[in-house]
Amino acid sequence: MRGIADLVRGKNIAVFSDEPYCHMVWTGQHHTLLSEPGMLDQVVACYTFSKSYSMSGWRLGYAVTSPPWAEVIGKMVNTALSCVPPLVQLAGQEALEHDAAERDEVMLRFKKKVELLVEDLRSVPGVQVLMPAGTFYVFPNVSAICRQLGIQSHGLAMYLLEGADDRRGVACLGGECFGPAGQGFLRFSCAEPDDRLHQAVAFLKEAVLRTERVQRYLEQHPKYRMA
């Protein structure tokens, strides 16, 4: 953060800082660019109630920036949305003023879910995974499995959902969805009951051994073949 601040400070550069996981930090503490000297005039930091307070359906958030930028954002929001419904605003106010203890308890449960999923994934041959420093996602490296099966990681994700079994599947994302550097990875969400997380990893472990089904899936979807 200090390096970024030194790079942009005093220049005609604005920074949009997306802060949805500010309370989902498992290693160290959350740091925002706003905390660096002189950054208030160049940074708009946006926060959401969706993650910290489990209010994803309410579509509620807020921004922190300097007064002139806040005025501009207010005009944009007023033109595009009119305003956030008063009921939703009141719910957000209650969350901020009274729910810190419950929020921290829920975040701790999410951390335990992440640890559970990481531990389970480490039992799958060909999978390497680090404990993430934050968020409720896990991003295992499955490149060894992909090479063995001749399938791209996003193809592996789609195979787990569509082709590994006739009655059930596992939903995840291929790392390519996040750019070329994500190739060879999968992204799993921990926002499920613990028993379903165990079932998902067990399904993965079995599904990658069904090589005939993998080849059949690749014949039907050749775009997922590894070059």
Give the tens place of pLDDT for each residue, 61-110.
Answer: 999 999 999 999 999 988 887 788 899 999 999 999 999 999 999 999 99
Q: Burial, 52: exposed, middle or buried (Cβ in 10 Å; 0-12, 13-18, 19+)?
A: buried
Sequence-distant (≥ 6) Cβ neighbours of residue 142 within 8 angstroms: 126, 127, 153, 156, 184, 185, 186
Angle CA 121–122–124, to nearest 5 = 70
Query: What torsion do the CA atoms of 72, 76, 79, 85 make, to the nearest 10 degrees?
Result: -100
Is the pTM for the entire model greater than 0.75?
yes
Q: How confident is the chain (227 residues) per 10-residue block, as mean pLDDT?
A: 95 94 93 94 95 92 94 89 88 95 95 97 97 96 98 98 96 96 97 96 98 97 95
